[in-house]
Amino acid sequence: MLLFREKVPADWLPKVLADLPAVLVDHAHLERKAATTALNLEKYRDLYGRVAELNAIAIEELQHFQLVLDLLERRGIPFGQPHPSPWISGLMNAIRKGQRPQAIDHLICCSLIEGRSCEKFQFLASDLKTVDPELARFYGSLVESEGNHYATYLLMARAIDEAEANRRLDFYLDLDAKLIRQPNPLPMLH
Ligand SMILES: [Fe+2]
Ligand SMILES: [Fe+2]
């Protein structure tokens, strides 16, 4: 179902497993940003009819954020500052100006971020099974929701203009493949 053209680099999983506390803080911020992004999408005229759906996503992401915060608290990990993700800013910087182009590009970026989260949560769910079963179950429990967000955002972009959304998806899949190959030594999800 995921359309990615490049695999998650082989060094991503060992890097993340080596510093799970930092990854959990990064994950908390990722969910926080996912909640605010869903609300930000409501500024586009083409999405005024989808406000209730976007609110539902924002609520779900806020619940994910709280779940990660609860996990941090149980583990005695302080909530800290986020690192900027070069992969996310690389995608976001390619968003075009103008109401409709911006709405389509923004939705596709969000879709790819959700899709990569879904993919990476699946890796964590399986690779943490023996090391950290609680965390493995937690990541497993988020996979379906992030997969749904991936599909919802993509369908929202296609509902605005199907041909244009597919053309931009093609562009963004190439950009994602290029950006994900760039080394990032920080223990981050993206
Ligand atoms: Fe989420
Ligand atoms: Fe999500």
Sign of CA dihedral 94, 9, 169, 171: positive
159: its two tokens: 């509902």
| pLDDT tens series, the chain, 190 aa | 678 999 999 999 999 999 999 999 999 999 999 999 999 999 999 999 999 999 999 999 999 999 999 999 999 999 999 999 999 999 999 999 999 999 999 999 999 999 999 999 999 999 999 999 999 999 999 999 999 999 999 999 999 999 999 999 999 999 999 999 999 999 999 9
Residues sharing a CB contact under 8 Å with residue 91, sequence separation 6 or more, in sequence order: 109, 112, 113, 172, 175, 176, 179
**Is the pTM of the predicted complex or chain greater than 0.95?**
yes
CA of 8 to the centre of ligand 2 (A): 18
Q: Which ligand is nearest to the CA of 149?
A: 2
Residue 37 confidence (pLDDT) = 98
Closest ligand, as measured to the CA of 31 = 1
Ligand 1 centre to CA of 143 (Å) is 9
Burial of 151 (0-12, 13-18, 19+ CB in 10 A): middle
The ligand with the least distance to the CA atom of 63 is 1
Tell me what pLDDT residue 1 has: 64
pLDDT of residue 58: 98
Ligand 2 centroid to Cα of residue 32, in Å, is 10
181 C-alpha to ligand 1 centroid (Å): 24
